[in-house]
Amino acid sequence: MQLLIVSFFWFIICTSEALKCKSCLDRYSHLCASEETIDCSESEGCGAASGFFQIGLERTNFFYKGCRFPIECNSWLCISMNGTYLQSYITCCDGEMCDLDYYIPSDANEPYNGKECESCYVEDTADGCSSTQTQKCRGDETLCVRYGGYRRKQDGEETAVSFSGCANTLAYEKFEYFYGFEQTVIKFFTDNRNRRPVGKTNADCSF
């Protein structure tokens, strides 16, 4: 009987111990220079997010590794405007301290899906932007979105940002997984005035 009691409490101690994951965050690289170990709850597991923010030819990569996100594994988030792109890819794994490689989305063109959205990008204001330009949406970018908020630049400074463009549903719902964009004073909503029929699309939203 005593052995059963000891075994029971040992089971409780072992199963209640937090899952450990490797952790790092680099907003301006495609890999992490250093890692540490953190505790994650059993229900979370380990995960990673990688991607880039690009204006014209200037690209800023980012990479995160740590506790699993409350988001579907192997998922893309993407937003595109004329000459400006946001993309992130979410991966995850099961088991303690499982290793995850970074993955930066490719530049391979995805086919246009028949939808077009008003497109603009400006800094120094969170009050919105307007333009006569339109963006042809690719892959599973089925939403027209507008955003007003803040972005942390590579030098650490915050700048107000407004943009309009194409997005996939996951990017609209999980915008916080684009690193460098602040989640305070956000005005982010869909605008389907430019909606056009959307045909069959691919899961990948690379531009």
Identify whether the C-beta of residue 180 lies closer than 8 Å to the C-beta of residue 62.
Answer: yes
pLDDT reported for residue 115: 92
Model pTM?
0.75
Domain boundaries along the sequence of the chain: 22-105+112-190
| Residue 167 confidence (pLDDT) above 80 | yes
C-alpha radius of gyration, the chain, whole number: 20
The Cα–Cα gap between 74 and 51 comes to 13
| Residue 4 confidence (pLDDT) above 50 | no
Give 186's contacts (C-beta < 8 A, 6+ positions apart): 147, 148, 149, 175
| Residue 49 confidence (pLDDT) above 70 | yes
3-state DSSP assignment of residue 157? coil
Top-ranked range on mean pLDDT: pick from 10-24, 78-92, 144-158: 78-92
pLDDT in tens, 100-152: 666 665 555 678 899 999 999 999 998 888 888 999 998 899 999 988 888 87
CA distances to 112, 127, 140 from 188, rounded to whole Å, are 24, 11, 19
Residues 83-103: what's their mean pLDDT?
Answer: 78
pLDDT reported for residue 205: 58
Top-ranked range on mean pLDDT: pick from 25-29, 74-78, 175-179: 74-78
3-state DSSP assignment of residue 11? helix
pLDDT category, 8, cuts 50, 70, 90?
A: very low
